[in-house]
């Protein structure tokens, strides 16, 4: 890898993890750009990082920038690779994980990768937490609505979204190869969507204690409406609840 060449990394920043099993822990975030999906959740809105997925912006960093970022923030021992869809970039992910692990130590440097499960990737050091957010039928964009960038959804966009939407074999490989995982689906509050989530969980033999249900919504107002609905459902069904507190705290601000 040419460490001086710009790569598909759009953001690097410090943040508090606000979703899933590591919620509340300081992390370094590296966000790749480019995605296999075009998620739209109806009233829940578009993907909250649409600028890396539906209208992907170009990467602006080199790998030397990433190395320096890790060195400058050595006090943080947790890293989250997110996107977009980071598993599209296997060589890049492997290099990032390797450098972070060798800086902090294989056991001390904790790496999470957020993925919709579209691709299996192998890394020199297995990833500590594969955060799986497969997309169900409620994520399919509707024909002829407008995207955040003002484009009109056509059949080609819908087909692209569905092509990688539920890749069971890739997900099984990720679970088998890497150290640990969590299942972190978005629930829109409907019974239909909940049945899909539960069917997937059962087929993949994912225990409830590895399942973190997130409320649908790309803005503070929608999430505040959804929080009690999802919390009550998780209490009744025995799932873990995951908030999306970065949106509650900062709205649609980037790099938080």
The CATH number that applies at residue 115 is 3.20.20.70
Contact assessment for residue 12 and residue 62, using Cβ atoms and an 8 Å cutoff: no
Q: Is the Cβ–Cβ distance between 237 and 187 less than 8 Å?
A: no
pTM of the model: 0.95
174 domain residue, yes or no: yes
CA distance linking residue 35 with residue 133, whole number of Å: 13
Task: Tell whether 1 is covered by a domain.
Answer: no
Q: Per-residue pLDDT for 1 more than 90?
A: no
Summarize the chain as % helix, strand, coil (round to 5): 40, 20, 40
Which structural domain range is residue 198 located in?
A: 6-250
Which stretches within the chain are classed as H helix?
63-72, 90-104, 155-163, 168-177, 191-203, 220-237, 245-250
Question: What's the confidence (pLDDT) of residue 43?
Answer: 81
Arithmetic mean of pLDDT, 26-35:
98
**How far is the C-alpha of 8 from the C-alpha of 176, rounded, in Å?**
27
- Look at residue 205 and tell me whether its pLDDT is greater than 90: yes
How many structural domains compose the chain?
1
72 lies in a domain?
yes
Q: Percent of the chain at pLDDT above 90? A: 95
Stretch 225-242: mean pLDDT, rounded?
97
pLDDT (tens digit, 9 = 90+) per residue, 33-84?
999 999 998 888 899 899 999 999 999 999 999 999 999 999 999 999 999 9
Q: Rounded distance, CA 48 to CA 223, Å?
A: 12
Tokens of 27: 């992390």
Do 92 and 32 form a contact (C-beta atoms < 8 A)? yes
3-class DSSP assignment, residue 127:
coil
**Alpha-carbon span 14 to 30, nearest angstrom:** 9
Neighbours of 122 (CB within 10 A): 13
- Residue 256 located in a structural domain: no
Q: What digits encode the pLDDT tens for the residues 118-139?
A: 999 999 999 999 999 999 999 9
Dihedral Cα 31, 32, 33, 35, nearest 10 deg = -110
- The tokens describing 75, both together, are 């006090």
- Is position 136 within any domain? yes
Q: Is residue 142 part of a domain?
A: yes
- Count of alpha carbons within 13 angstroms of residue 113, beta-carbon side: 33
- Whether residue 58 is contained in a domain is answered as yes
**In this structure, is residue 111 part of a structural domain?**
yes
Predicted local confidence at residue 44, as pLDDT: 80
Q: Categorize the per-residue pLDDT at 191 as very low, low, confident or very high, splitting at 50, 70 and 90.
A: very high
């Amino acid at each position: 890898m040419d460490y001086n060449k710009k790569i598909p990394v759009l953001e690097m920043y410090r943040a508090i993890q606000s979703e899933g099993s590591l919620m509340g822990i300081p992390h370094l975030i590296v966000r790749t750009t480019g995605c296999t999906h075009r998620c739209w959740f109806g009233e829940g809105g578009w993907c909250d990082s649409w600028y890396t997925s539906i209208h992907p912006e170009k990467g602006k960093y080199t790998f030397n920038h990433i190395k320096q970022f890790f060195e400058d923030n050595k006090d943080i021992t947790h890293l989250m690779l997110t996107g977009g869809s980071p598993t599209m970039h296997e060589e890049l992910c492997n290099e990032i994980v390797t450098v972070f692990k060798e800086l902090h130590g294989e056991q001390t440097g904790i790496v999470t990768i957020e993925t919709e499960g579209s691709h299996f990737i192998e890394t020199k050091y297995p990833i500590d937490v594969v955060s799986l957010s497969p997309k169900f039928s409620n994520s399919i964009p509707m024909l002829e609505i407008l995207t955040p960038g003002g484009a009109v959804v056509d059949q080609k966009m819908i087909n692209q979204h569905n092509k990688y939407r539920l890749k069971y074999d890739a997900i099984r490989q990720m679970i088998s190869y890497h150290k640990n995982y969590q299942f972190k689906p978005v629930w829109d509050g409907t019974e239909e969507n909940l049945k899909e989530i539960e069917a997937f969980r059962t087929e993949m033999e994912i225990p409830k204690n590895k399942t973190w249900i997130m409320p649908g919504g790309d803005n503070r107002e929608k999430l505040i409406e959804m929080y009690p609905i999802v919390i009550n459902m998780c209490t009744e069904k025995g799932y873990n609840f995951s908030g999306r507190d970065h949106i509650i705290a900062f709205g649609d601000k980037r790099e938080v």
